Chains A and B, each alone.
Chain A
Amino acid sequence: AQKVTQAQTEISVVEKEDVTLDCVYETRDTTYYLFWYKQPPSGELVFLIRRNSFDEQNEISGRYSWNFQKSTSSFNFTITASQVVDSAVYFCALLNYGGATNKLIFGTGTLLAVQP
């Protein structure tokens, strides 16, 4: 079975703190794709990053960085020097790839509240 677990329901930090959002996934596929999306209060899911299972290099984009470790089936997301605008629900997702359907399997999300 394919599954994504985001054990942190809510995280509250003060502006400028670093924060890491955890994501653990389960899949039997050897080829798979992992995603992070941001959902602000408006509701729209904003794509942040896609990672394929063959690329374990960490990625940095401005204040955002991602740590992908196949050995622990984790794909964690770190925000450095958090800002109030980072407040949102963040979802980790696994793409069920191949066959007749390609669908995203989402975790339950982590609500990040950045206090000024």
Chain B
Amino acid sequence: DAGVTQSPTHLIKTRGQHVTLRCSPISGHKSVSWYQQVLGQGPQFIFQYYEKEERGRGNFPDRFSARQFPNYSSELNVNALLLGDSALYLCASSLVRASVQETQYFGPGTRLLVL
């Protein structure tokens, strides 16, 4: 079975531009979460979506937005890019949102470099 997939793998943008990152969860998983990992740090929670609705948002500015589609795939959008947005963006999927069995499985990430 395929794991979580993300595209693109790498991306280079300049300040002020917009970027869209994509994620496909494990088949059957309905919850998708996004994390930002800057160099040398642990991942930081950005968003969680479940059944196409936003269920949680981390401490990130409104330049960050996301959505989940009927097939449970998801997009993360970042507007007006700043140098500090350079990071590894990780997508994680889980079977259900609130379950004692919940484990988040991560994709390979998208490395974003903002110049």
Contacts and interface: CB of A to CB of B under 8 A. Distances in A.
A6 B109 CA distance: 23
B42 A108 contact: yes
A70 to B, nearest CB: 17
B55 A95 contact: no
Contacts of B42: 4, 91, 93, 106-109
A63 interface: no
Contacts, number: 66
A42 B107 CA distance: 11
B48 A102 contact: yes
A50 B45 CA distance: 18
B108 A42 contact: yes
B23 interface: no
Max chain B Cβ within 10 angstroms of own Cβ: one of A98, A104, A106? A104
B40 to A, nearest CB: 8
B98 A43 contact: no
B48 A103 contact: yes
Contact of B98 (A37, A42, A102, A104): A102
Contacts of B109: 43-44
Interface string B30-42: 0101010000111
Given A101-B55, A106-B43, 17 more contacts: A35-B103, A44-B106, A45-B43, A45-B90, A45-B92, A52-B100, A93-B42, A97-B98, A101-B48, A101-B57, A102-B31, A102-B48, A102-B56, A103-B48, A103-B56, A104-B35, A108-B42
11 contacts: A44-B109, A45-B43, A46-B106, A100-B55, A102-B31, A102-B97, A104-B104, A106-B42, A106-B43, A108-B40, A108-B42
Interface of B: 31, 33, 35, 40-45, 48, 55-58, 88, 90, 92, 94, 97-98, 100, 102-109, 111
